């Protein structure tokens, strides 16, 4: 009789313990599901905020682009009316490096840095900086071009570029650096270029 009661007690205890464990498990699962739902909701809000910020950024880019176009037109008109005080203040070639052959022709690369400064009293835009290398009177290596937009009064800007030339053209080298507003030359600089014995 005692063994039956003991067995019944054990069964009841095991059943209660199992029920308690199952209840705790489902409670924990329910809590975690609620946390997941909250995270999903917060993530949805963050995605909405991100979309809104991307839309605003695109709108600002469009406004900036439109402002640059309008300012470019005004800059060109101003350049026709008076001298723009924008200067090429520094030109630094950075030595030569082997660029490898093309169709059996050895080539070298010259990296350079051009610094321009807006010494005018107004912001300008749409300026075109071009850098061309010459071997004697002949242009070699193409032309490097860079657009200078939204250039504030007093601002100094550094622009890095490169030109690649065949080694057989590397004698009596020079750079012509030109800054233009439309068809008006704002500033120009001539710089001789040492070959440092690579030719």
The verdict on 64 and 91 lying in the same domain is no
Domain end (from 82, 111, 130): 82
Q: What is the pLDDT of residue 1?
A: 61
28: in domain: yes
199: in domain: no
Between these two residues, 76 and 12, which has the higher pLDDT value?
76
Query: With a threshold of 0.75, does the pTM exceed it?
Result: no
The verdict on 110 and 19 lying in the same domain is no
The verdict on 16 and 28 lying in the same domain is yes
Instruction: Bin 119: left if φ > 0, else alpha if -120 < ψ < 50, else beta.
Output: alpha
19: in domain: yes
Domain end (from 66, 82, 98): 82
Q: Which two tokens stand for residue 128?
A: 């075109």
CATH code for position 114: 2.60.40.10
Between these two residues, 24 and 113, which has the higher pLDDT value?
113
Strand partners, 114: 91, 159
Average pLDDT, the chain: 87
């Amino acid at each position: 009789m005692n063994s039956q009661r003991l067995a019944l007690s054990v069964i009841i205890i095991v059943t209660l313990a199992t029920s308690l464990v199952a209840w705790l498990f489902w409670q924990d699962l329910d809590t975690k599901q609620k946390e997941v739902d909250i995270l999903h909701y917060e993530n949805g809000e963050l995605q909405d905020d991100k979309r809104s910020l991307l839309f605003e950024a695109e709108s600002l880019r469009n406004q900036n682009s439109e402002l640059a176009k309008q300012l470019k037109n005004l800059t060109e008109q101003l350049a026709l009316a008076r001298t723009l005080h924008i200067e090429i203040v520094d030109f630094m070639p950075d030595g030569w490096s082997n660029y490898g052959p093309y169709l059996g022709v050895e080539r070298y690369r010259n990296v350079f840095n051009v610094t321009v400064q807006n010494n005018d009293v107004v912001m300008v835009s749409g300026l075109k900086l071009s850098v061309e290398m010459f071997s004697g009177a002949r242009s070699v290596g193409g032309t490097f071009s860079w657009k200078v937009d939204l250039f504030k009064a007093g601002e100094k800007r550094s622009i890095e570029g490169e030109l690649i030339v065949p080694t057989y053209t590397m004698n009596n080298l020079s750079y012509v650096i030109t800054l233009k507003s439309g068809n008006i030359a704002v500033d120009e600089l001539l710089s001789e270029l040492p070959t440092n014995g690579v030719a």
